[in-house]
Structure formats: structure tokens, C-alpha cells
Structure 1
Amino acid sequence: MKSCFVFGTRPEVIKTAPVYLYFKNLGEEVILIATAQHREMMDMMIKVFNIKPDYDLDVMTQNQSLNMIVSRVMERIEPILMKERPDIVFVQGDTTTALSACLAAFHLSIPVAHIEAGLRSGDLYDPFPEELNRRLIDVSCRYLFAPTKRAKENLLREGLDENRIFIVGNTVIDALELIRKKINMVSLRKELIDSDYYILMTLHRRENIGEKMRSILRATADFAQKNDIRVVFPVHKNPNVRQIVDEEVGKNPNFILIEPVDYLHFLSLLDGAKFVVTDSGGVQEEAPSFNKFVVVARQTTERPELIEAGLGILAGTSKETVYEAINEANRKNLNSIENPFGDGKSSERIYKIIRGDIA
């Protein structure tokens, strides 16, 4: 059996690497294709997991549009797939890389497996373009690896064949298990900051860029000033994000603005934070493993399990609602909670399912 794994962004590496390594460590024939949709962030993660792509499509250009990414990925990946002829192609999540690779494989009649299938926000434009990407990928895949029961139910409601759907948990927990035992969180954290009383913030969503992001930053800044707490913020490389951050909090003494960090250092920051303010999807899944409450600074979330478990709050993006949510998070104290997204055995489940079908 020859398995091909495709990624192009930091979250994809995190959630694909455990499955790739599980297959590889069992002696399976594996091919790794990197699109480099986000060059620096992807390369940073590759080093963490000590993996090396067999092919690098190198599609990233300055100010690239979504259509440009789709076009370049599909054009460059097709000859590789035709040459290698894998038995299956794995894509992960909701990125433009995942959609493009899925379509290219589908056009060549190669079965596709979707890691993290079935997540839905219910709004095609929020998150954009991820919500549409997910739906298109799920329709065309042979294997739908849903992280939760709710994700499976989403797929069934859309009329997808139950025989294609498998609940396996989220592979991000596998990644955490691979890493946490090997690192000293406190030592890594001290390489970045000297504070032990802070909020961790991440913001980068395309649909939040503009006034929404400014409102989130202003609410957080007001809270930080009134409560004398620092905000540690690894700032995304997107120049539009950086401009807003610089204008709103660039000179704010309560904010510790740092460059994007590798996954190990990010986990160390998550480990030490009082709570998290984010518009990221992955952080919503990782935070419960560190007993951290999450303020989700978005209008929707495709991970409602976090909210339903009482481990986060969907704050919206207005200054008033975000401030209120942060104030509530400050009163929370989570201890030894169970992560609703997985148990660290997702890669094993995926392997057994695939191996049972493809001998």
C-alpha cells in the first residue's frame, strides 16, 4: 500500500504528521508532498516533527489570491500523483491546499481520505473560505475521518454514506502526546517571556481582518489595562494583520508582541497562560489538554463541543461582547478536564481502517 500525505500550512503539518509517522514507523510506503501555501509557518512545523517532504510544490508568492493557490497546487501536484500513483491520498482540514489536492486526486480516480471531516460552522462565509472547502472535500472523499460524534452527524445530515464515515478523534491530540513528554514547558517559555501572569492571544482569520480585529484588540487591551495583566501575542505573518496589530496595540505596554513561534514554544505559552483569546480553530482543540479556558473571538465555531463542554465561550467580535467574554474567562479555573476532541489514538484508528480496506 502506497499512501500519499499532503500539507501546506502549519495546522496541517501538526495534524497530518502523527498519521504520516504512524504509517511510516510501521514500514508502510509513504510519500509526503508539501505545497508551502504558508512557507515559513509550514517549514517551522516540519522541523518540529523532524520530517522531510519528498516533494515541495513551493506555491507561495506575495499577496497570493485563493484562486492562484488552487491553480498552482493542482497544476504542480498532478504530475507527481500520475508518477507515483498512490493507493490513497490524505488531506487534512479545511485549507486551500487540502481542497486543491483533493480535487487533483479525485480527477485521477485516486481515493482520498479526509482527516478532520465533518466540521461545520453553518455559514459558508464564516470562516471564509474554510467552510466551503470542508464541504467540497467531504463530498468527494472515500474516507471521512470525523473527530467527534457531532462531526459524523453533520455528514449524515448532508446525505453522505455512513459507510464512508469513521469517528476517530482529532489527530491534534496525537501530536500533543508525541511532543509533551519530550519538552520542558517552563524552560521553553522562559526563552520567550519573563512573565508568568498573562493571557495568550492569537488572531489571523481572514474574515476578522479589519474592524472586527480592531474591536477584539481594543476589548483585550481595555481588560489588560484594568486588570494589570500582560497579553502575549505571537503576531501572524500576514501583513494586513500586522498593520492592524501595530496600529492598535503596537505601543501598548500590556502587550508582548512576538514573532510566530514553533509549535513547541507555542505549547509552552499555552501551558503557562491564564486563558486564551483566539480566532483559531486548532487552539480550541489544544487548549483543553492544558486546562485552559478559550475565548473564541468569532461569530461562529465549527467546534461547538468546546462551548458545550463549558470550556470556552463564543464571544463574537464586537468590543462589548469580547470584553464580557474575557471577563468571564478570568473567573474560570479549570482543573484536570477531559479533552472532548480526542484521546491520542486517532492515528492508530485511521491506520487500522485504511489497512483493513486496502491490503
Structure 2
Amino acid sequence: MRSVAVVLGTRPEAIKFAPVIRALQADPRFDPVVISTGQHRQMLDDTLEAFGLKPDIDLEIMAPKQTLSQVTYRCLRGLGEQFGKLSTEAVLVHGDTATTLAAALSGFHHQIPVIHVEAGLRSGFLGSPFPEEGNRRLVAQIAALHLAPTPGNHANLLREGIAEETIVVTGNTVIDALQWASGRSDSYGDPALADLDTDPRRVILASAHRREAWPHLPQIAQALVDIADEPDVRVIVPLHRNPVVREAMLPRIGGHPNITVVDPLPYLSFSKLMRRADIIVSDSSGSQEEGPALGKPTLVLGSVTERSEAVVAGTARLVGTTTEGIVAATTELLRNPAEYLRMATAANPYGDGCATERTVGAIAHFFGDGPAVDPFVPGVEVDEFAVELARRAPFARA
């Protein structure tokens, strides 16, 4: 059996890694060791529990008001100690977090091959999203195997000089997780949402938390207030636990009769809420993939995105961070049924529910324990030039 370390630390990593961990555990070729850094504490634990998973090793690195450098340092120190003791043959990392960067560096330092799941996403702007764009680029330079969700991600890696034989297009495992979660929760996860199935109003699911959005949170909050003033609309905001986000948004949106503010929801409940929503307004990376998979028009808060396939396919739209831009895009969908239908029926470019199977197959092939994997081919043809245009100057195009 091949011993592989799966390193995660945040809720998105847990969601997207969960199907892979479960598949590795069920595969007699592998002996996975799940290492949690605890970068997101409660949200991470709750998400793993929803999937019936528990880390084998927990580094518990979080402390109040840590800087990015401190988080990264504590991850490196803890992972270095573990990799020095474990006889692991590969380190699996996901995406773009501080945990991802630290685990990749530590694996490289210990001469352990690094396998990067969700590789190749690029916004084209080093500072946006920050620090995620930089983290992804750095990990790409030391990874031995790059598991890219889409052909566009594959093309990004080739442009950076990554060897083609080290790249496999798998689709995104978030689609697998979303399909697994379907119908597994009878509740929306908060008493304030108990009436949602009988509420006739159109539901806007909204969130904002990325660092580059922090200076614009007051404008985003005002946009949600203006949207909530529309007839027959209910805005639901699972508010991020970060004090910066709460202090900027809660005084503005709290108390509005058509805005329901709740704490972050368990993943199964949140999946149910996404299915109930009519429109998603968010800067969340997961929403840009989950919204299209569910047929939900998704308005992306920001001026650039590393997930431009959905913008080109037409199921997502970049709307910036100004109050006027967010309100205009949302009210157009509320008032224009044809435009709403166009976005709601656009094809999903991110996966077919088989990304986990391809991921495990690609890892086995990397070790010489299985055949090469047929790459994921999206059901929608996305022109590479259009994706590049959206990536490099997306807000001007939106």
C-alpha cells in the first residue's frame, strides 16, 4: 500500500478533499494519513464531521490574530516534524491556502513528491486573490503531479512551462462533494431559516470575506440593503466569523426586515440553502463552481477571477465591488426573466461528478499502479482565447 499524506486546514479544502479521502481510504492501493493544520478551526471540524471524516493528525496551529506569516510558519514547523517521522510517499495539497503552500514546501524540503489537486487556476494578477494567486503559482513550481480541474487550467500550466506529462485534467471534486451532499440534510441549519421552504420570496444568497474585499465591505453591505428593498426579495447572509467582516457589515445589514443574517452553516445545510437560492452573490471561490453546477446565476464580487470558465460559459458574471454595480446586476436578474433564464441554463464547465475517480486514478498512475486516466472534457466548449480574455481583463469585459 502507498502511504500518502493528505494535508488540509480550511473548510473549502475539507469539502473538496473529502471525496478524495473517502476514495483513498476505500482503495486497497493506498494508506492515506489525513493531517489537519486547523487553519480554520470550527468550520473545518464541522465539515469533516459531515463527511464522516476525522484527521489522523491535528497540528492545531490557530491562535488569535495571527498574521499570514505566523500561520505559514506554524504550519511549516508542525508539518516538518510530522514528515520527519512519517514514511509517506507523496504529499497531497489542495488549491491555494497557507496550509497548501506550507505543506508543499515541507514536502519538497523532505524530498517527498507533491501532488497538487485543483492546480492551474490563475487570475493573471498576483495580488488578486491575495494571497491565493501567489500561493498557487509557488506550489506549481515544486509539484510533481498537477491535477487540473479544467482544460483552461491545463493551458495555464503549460504556459508557465510545466511539463505536459505531469498534468491531468480531472474536473473539480467540489462537484462530487455537492452531489454527495444532495438531500442529506432536512434542515437549513439555523432556526432563522426554518420558514424558508414556505417563504414565497425570491432568495438572494450573499457572502463576502476575501481580503481584497475588506476595503469595499461597506459598499457591499449597502448593496445588499438596496437589493433587500426590492419587492418580494429575501437576502440571506451566512456571515463569515472574521471580526473584520462582521464589524464592517453587521451594523449595516443587521435589523433589515428582508435580510436574514446567520452564522456560517454546516456544509450539508449550506448545500440545501444553495439549492433553495434563486441568485448567488459572493466572492467565495466555491460558489463560482457550485452555483453553475446547481443552475444558479452567480454574481462574483470582484474585478478578476481565477475561475473565468464560468464567466465565459455565461453562468457567472463579474460585478465588481461598488454598490451601484452589484445592485444593477442583481436587479437585472430579478426584473428580466429572459436574462435570468439565460444564466440559469448555461452549462457547467467544472465537472461531471467523476473528478474523484480521475484523481485517484491519476495518483495510482503516478506511482505506476494503474493505467493513465482519460481527461475530463467539459460538456460545454469554452474557447481558450475567450477564457484568456476574461482572465486578463475580466471586469472591463463583464
Instruction: Give your verdict on TM over 0.5.
Output: yes
Match of 1:340 among 342, 349, 353: 349
Contact 2:182 2:272 in 1 (8 A): no
1:54 counterpart letter in structure 2: D
Contact 2:297 2:344 in 1 (8 A): no
- 1:305 aligns with 309
Match of 2:170 among 159, 168, 177: 168
Is the alpha carbon distance of 1:225 and 1:62 closer, same or farther for their aligned partners in structure 2, counting shifts above 3 Å?
Answer: same
- 2:36 aligns with 34
- 1:233 aligns with 237
Q: Which runs of 5+ in 2 are unaligned?
A: 370-398
- 2:394 aligns with none
- 2:23 aligns with 22
Distance 1:44 1:65 in 2: 24
Match of 1:278 among 256, 278, 282: 282
- Secondary structure (helix, strand or coil) at the match of 1:209 reads helix
- 1:290 aligns with 294
Distance 1:335 1:318 in 2: 24
Count of residues in correspondence between the two structures: 356
Give the percent of matched residue pairs that are identical in Structure 1 and Structure 2: 40
Contact 2:315 2:344 in 1 (8 A): no
Q: Post-superposition shift, 1:46?
A: 1.0
Contact 1:295 1:329 in 2 (8 A): no
Q: Which runs of 5+ in 1 are unaligned?
A: none
Match of 2:225 among 209, 221, 227: 221
Contact 1:235 1:242 in 2 (8 A): yes
What is the RMSD of the two structures over their aligned residues, measured on CA atoms? 1.5
1:314 counterpart letter in structure 2: L
- Secondary structure (helix, strand or coil) at the match of 1:253 reads coil
Q: Post-superposition shift, 1:339?
A: 2.0
- 1:53 aligns with 55
Distance 1:189 1:307 in 2: 30
Is the alpha carbon distance of 1:229 and 1:148 closer, same or farther for their aligned partners in structure 2, counting shifts above 3 Å?
Answer: same
Q: Post-superposition shift, 1:282?
A: 0.6
The superposition leaves residues 145-165 of structure 1 with CA deviations (integer Å, 9 ceiling, x where unpaired) of: 000011111111111111111
- Secondary structure (helix, strand or coil) at the match of 1:277 reads strand
- 1:201 aligns with 206
Distance 2:139 2:214 in 1: 25
Contact 1:4 1:89 in 2 (8 A): yes
Match of 1:256 among 257, 260, 278: 260
- Secondary structure (helix, strand or coil) at the match of 1:283 reads helix
Distance 1:134 1:227 in 2: 42
- 2:7 aligns with 6
Contact 2:289 2:350 in 1 (8 A): yes
Q: Post-superposition shift, 1:329?
A: 2.9
1:354 equivalent to 2:345? Answer no
2:292 counterpart letter in structure 1: P
Distance 1:326 1:46 in 2: 33
Distance 1:242 1:161 in 2: 44
Contact 1:189 1:268 in 2 (8 A): no
* Segments of 4+ moved more than 6 angstroms: none
Distance 2:72 2:103 in 1: 9
- Secondary structure (helix, strand or coil) at the match of 2:320 reads coil
Q: Post-superposition shift, 1:190?
A: 8.0
2:172 counterpart letter in structure 1: N
Q: Post-superposition shift, 1:85?
A: 2.2
Contact 1:298 1:315 in 2 (8 A): yes
Distance 1:287 1:142 in 2: 31
Distance 1:239 1:19 in 2: 32
The superposition leaves residues 56-82 of structure 1 with CA deviations (integer Å, 9 ceiling, x where unpaired) of: 000111111000011000001112112
1:78 counterpart letter in structure 2: G
Distance 2:43 2:174 in 1: 17
Is the alpha carbon distance of 1:183 and 1:338 closer, same or farther for their aligned partners in structure 2, counting shifts above 3 Å?
Answer: farther
2:364 counterpart letter in structure 1: R
Match of 1:80 among 76, 79, 82: 82
2:54 counterpart letter in structure 1: K
Distance 1:98 1:329 in 2: 37
Distance 2:359 2:108 in 1: 20
Distance 2:362 2:205 in 1: 37
Distance 1:190 1:250 in 2: 16
Q: Post-superposition shift, 1:291?
A: 1.1
2:26 counterpart letter in structure 1: N
Distance 2:190 2:33 in 1: 37
Is the alpha carbon distance of 1:189 and 1:55 closer, same or farther for their aligned partners in structure 2, counting shifts above 3 Å?
Answer: closer
Distance 2:218 2:321 in 1: 9
Contact 1:289 1:337 in 2 (8 A): no
- 2:142 aligns with 140
Distance 2:155 2:263 in 1: 39
Distance 1:190 1:52 in 2: 24
Moved more, 222-231 or 312-321: 222-231
The superposition leaves residues 29-49 of structure 1 with CA deviations (integer Å, 9 ceiling, x where unpaired) of: 110000000101101101111
Distance 1:69 1:40 in 2: 16
- 2:68 aligns with 66
